[in-house]
Amino acid sequence: MKIERLKALSLTARLTLFFTLTSVCIVLGLGSLLMYAADQHFIDLDRFTLSDKQLLIKDILTKSRSQDDARKRLSEALNHHHGMYISAKGIDGSTLYSSDRFSPPGQVAPGLSQPDEQVTQRWQSQGREYRALRMQQSPGYDPTNALDVVVAIDTKHHDEFIAQLGRTLAIYTVLAMIASGMFSWFAAHQGLAPLRAMKSRAATVSGRQLDERMPVGSVPIEMADLAKELNSMLDRLQSDFQRLSDFSSDLAHELRTPISNLMTQTQVVLSSQRDTETYRDTLASNVEEFQRLARMVSDMLFLAKTERSFAIPQKEHFQASSEIQKLVEFYDAVAEEKSIRINLVGDDLITGDRLMFRRAVSNLLSNALRHTPSSGDVCISVRKAEPYIEVAVANSGEDIDPKVLPRLFDRFFRADPARAHPSSDGAGLGLSITRAIVEAHSGKVAVTSKHGRTCFTLSFPVGDRANPTHA
């Protein structure tokens, strides 16, 4: 539940909370370390003071000649030390000296068996806390009778200092938390300002306004890469959107012409009474237009399918020359009519879809025969150029304008827009389909036109021949 609430917070709130908690933890850690160091300092100071007084008492007792002499010396040496308490008692419980009726717990320090041994003790009595050193010491006037000597110090002033220090650190921690929260929020808010700017830019992007780009130079280095990637994405979207817009416009234009022809021809025939033969001719003409429309729609569906990351369902290995030879035999009549020579050289194993391969090459061969002058020639070559197998279709004829070459594979594009090829079924989709087929095989297409020869090259990747599947 807490995690869900944290996820609901804004990034600014999360960063503010994180920096604030970090600062508080650091302050608390330093405060705890400081209090511990202060407490240890007071402990060491008390132990040093007690040890010093213990040595003094030991010297006094060793040099005393009687109990009265010992009491007098102890009183003169220790009465003026505020917060210091002394108790010297015999084993039998008799008191040699006690400051301010000081009575430590017990009579003999536990565990003491040797005269020079000492222990550290700590206890509370009447709201006060004592820290003491306890030892056994034989006086000079009676070496056989050991005294239980306790030197204690009242730690009240030390505890008060530690408590005051704790309160001061608590107040400082609260103030540090407030200040850290404010500064953290300001830093997070300012640090995320470029992100908000990018959000505002992104909000303005629409289908009608795709030229907006994210600021790269004015954002931090950490966001520069993100801005670049977003700009690249917008460039792709703008390009695809423009292509889609052009495609829609071209498609509408290409469909409008045959539909208009159908409507005009039909209206003319129906405007007056005609004989049966006229109606039959009109219907036959309409069928041809419908067939053209059907092929155009079929081609468009094929292009849409391939552009959606179309995957070839089942690849097979086949000889390129055998498939191309079938196409040559099909177009042989057209070539013979224009006295065009078709030559096929080379061969290799192609991995992919047999029918799609034939369609791609057929489009190139049909295009080459259409634009090759009479008595010209068309050469089809197959060769290996690692890591590809290249299928090239070259024909003689006029050179294509270099400015036009990059657009030859665009949908509905014709090198001569005024030429609609009324005698053909082409709608400017053949080369687009060819490129789509090759790209579906993870290949590439290229075209060159110079010195009276135009060459289209299809590059198919060399497939894995270890386990060929021949259909």
Q: What is the pLDDT of residues 307-353, one digit of tens each?
A: 655 567 678 889 999 999 998 988 888 888 889 999 999 999 998 88
* 369 in Cβ contact with 379 (< 8 Å): no
Q: Given phi > 0 = left and psi -120 to 50 = alpha, else beta, which region is 404?
A: alpha
Return the SS3 of 446: strand
Hey, what are 72's tokens? 């007098």
Gap between the Cα atoms of 427 and 435, Å rounded: 15
pLDDT at 417 exceeding the cut of 80: no
Q: Rounded to 10 degrees, what is the CA torsion of 273, 276, 282, 283?
A: 120
pLDDT at 424: 45
The residue among 264 and 457 whose pLDDT is bigger is 457
Q: Kind of pairing, strands 377-385 and 349-352?
A: unpaired
The amino acid sitting at 336 is E
Hey, what are 417's tokens? 């827009």
- Residue pLDDT, tens place only, 271-306: 888 888 888 888 888 887 787 777 777 767 776 666
In the chain, CATH 3.30.450.160 covers: 11-162
- Residue pLDDT, tens place only, 256-269: 767 887 888 788 88
Q: How many degrees, rounded to 5, is the angle at CA 193 between CA 191 and CA 195?
A: 100
pLDDT at 2: 55
In the chain, CATH 3.30.565.10 covers: 316-461
pLDDT at 420: 43
pLDDT at 466: 41
User: Is the torsion defined by CA of 38, 42, 44, 48 positive or negative?
Assistant: positive
Answering whether pTM is above 0.75, one says no
Q: Write out the DSSP string of 92-153.
A: TS-EEEEGGG---SSSS-TT--STT-EEEEEEEETTEEEEEEEEEE--TT-TTS-EEEEEEE
Q: How many degrees, rounded to 5, is the angle at CA 238 between CA 235 and CA 243?
A: 125
Q: Rounded to 10 degrees, what is the CA torsion of 47, 49, 52, 57?
A: -100
Q: What is the CATH number of domain 316-461?
A: 3.30.565.10
Long-range contacts of residues 35-39, Cβ cutoff 8 Å, at least 24 apart: 35/162, 35/165, 35/166, 35/169, 38/161, 38/162, 38/165, 39/158, 39/162
CATH architecture of 221-306: Orthogonal Bundle (1.10)
pLDDT band at 111 (very low <50, low <70, confident <90, very high): very low
The residue among 166 and 93 whose pLDDT is bigger is 166
Q: What is the mean pLDDT of residues 22-34?
A: 88
Identify the weakest region by mean pLDDT among 100-109, 215-224, 429-438: 100-109
pLDDT band at 391 (very low <50, low <70, confident <90, very high): very high
pLDDT band at 467 (very low <50, low <70, confident <90, very high): very low
Gap between the Cα atoms of 188 and 193, Å rounded: 9
Burial tier of 198 (Cβ tally within 10 Å: 0-12, 13-18, 19+): middle
Hey, what are 49's tokens? 């003071």
11-162: which CATH number, 3.10.180.10, 3.30.870.10, 3.30.450.160, 3.40.50.12500? 3.30.450.160
Share of the chain above pLDDT 70, in %: 83
Mean pLDDT of the chain: 79
In the chain, CATH 1.10.287 covers: 221-306
Run of H or E residues at 85: strand 84-90
Q: How many helices (H) and strands (E) does the chain have?
A: 10, 12
pLDDT at 418 exceeding the cut of 50: no
